[in-house]
Structure 1
């Protein structure tokens, strides 16, 4: 059963939620209890309806929940969970975003010192690469049979089985193996490399750097596999052409290293390095002015709102109730329309918000450090936060479904998992 749950969870993360997790995705017991109680209250008098069996509808329901969760987290990162914290988040800058991009992750209290530093990137963290033999596009020398080989990734071992038929060429087999490995989504990317009309299978790890002193991220073998062996030696799949290596960089002249190109500095900056620095030309990283930070925060809020509207609108032609979802969120923006307009934000006909950057900067500059001028935006953010929580709690409310019967008011049984029907959708065809 644990293997089934692991498969379901990995499928969920890759198919439905390929988004970065944040600290707002962890919850206390009291918060989980509050969610459970809200579900019970919501379902107390909810009608019974037929289960949804359409694959497209199931994907839509999970996607609605995930987009609502992402909107919630985006507002939370701007300080929307605290009474007076909205838009007080500092913004960081990098003098060369082609070398390093940076985000400030410190608290308001820790930002008083205005930290800054110089970053010089010497090498980037690299993945492990296995490159097999370059073979001609001729019939393989392997006899027709069912073959298998194993790929060990971290503490997991995956077996791949495939057939070789009479007349199959080396290139056909490599393309088949490439699809097989990529579809498994085990953290290894496979592709067929070509050189002088000869072909080789290249395997590259998603992970970079050296972890726990281990010299490899994955190993390929068929020494103890269940089917016929021989393909690993025939194609050279176990040859490590490029070992994984750590990133090397200097912070204020002090040498540092990281197994990833994405790391934090002093629990204040989230850094993504992208290229090696030119010689003796470090990137300077620091905090933006209050006016620039406020402008960035507002643009992030508008961008998150637009991303949600855009995602919901993508289902308008296939899911009839998605129109209601778009209408409810755009109605929230319409409620504050005149005030948003005065600050440089305009509500478009499709429900999205456009921003006049110049007017927004003027408003932010005129306010100084007094955020009372943005009280309307705080109310707008609170309304979005409340609505996103509602959608996340019950995404099935925006699914077209057939009602079977209404409950007898005051004489019914609580069904706390009705709104969580989407969670069962992820287990379809697994159990």
Structure 2
């Protein structure tokens, strides 16, 4: 396909004022202005004939990428490089191009990288590879479109699991091997002679009387607890925060918490809901079950429905047969939905430990704290402050009812959740 360049269009348009000047000052040579257009067209035709042949392009990219991680599409020119070659890649809606989405090769280069950002989980496609180059005069574009049709699977983000899980667990004083955590925990480990500095409540008076010396009980953190990660996938949770939906931020944090719990010997279950329960896994144990958690989390689809907390949490409570730590990732915007959420959460407190995880809304905080310059700025600040006040009221009501609440930024919520989970274990609340 051949198209004119900007240079060709400007050169063609420049003939009009030249023809006008000739007609005004030398009217007997008015027909000379008609020569300009054929001359430019002839130059463009020569440029098209002298343009290099279509280069052979090879495209390579990973078939699986995590949401939020940059996808680099590599394009290599086989053979002699073409000066001024421009390359672009056409993709689906789940892959957003970074920068302009195209790249121009410098003279002598035969390799290019185009970056995309996955913004939705699922499967997307790299549909076509576009390339164009000019002739030696820069008058025409020669353009070529190659159909690629290569699929890319976008999975939940587990980069925090690979990068920070071992750092968070390093200070936990417990692991897969049953290590002693002196003075804490609820499971009996062994008897040891009591020494100064140990807590008096650990003294076993019956064995001390039998052996005629003070003996203390050494306990360890209880294992085999049950942790349920319940993720709200309703309309509000599908709104973006810093470029990615809230539900994907919640899934990343939940997978980090699930890995920590599996690593420490606890049992983990995943529950997803919006207007009704969507996914419900049984409790699994061992780090070998983590890929199952990742796959199930990837199947939690986006929804435009309002969240039904009453149905979802009642269904979850009916499926649980033992005391569990229920971690609920959600977001609330209206007082009516928050009231239903509080009532449903209070019903779980009879036999379970409940933790609500909420992502801090930086956009609302920035709007409320911004210095107003116009009337619209004042209106936005007042509305943002009102919404933040309602959030704090709901959080206060949850804490007053006995529900634990964790609020953190989207890039800090995963580590904060693991630290909260470890604190629950140390305090024997599970």
Range of TM-score over shorter length: under 0.3
Structure-1-length-normalised TM-score: 0.20
Q: Compare the two structures and name the one with the higher strand fraction.
A: 2
Structure-2-length-normalised TM-score: 0.20
Computing the radius of gyration from Cα coordinates, the structure with the larger value is 2
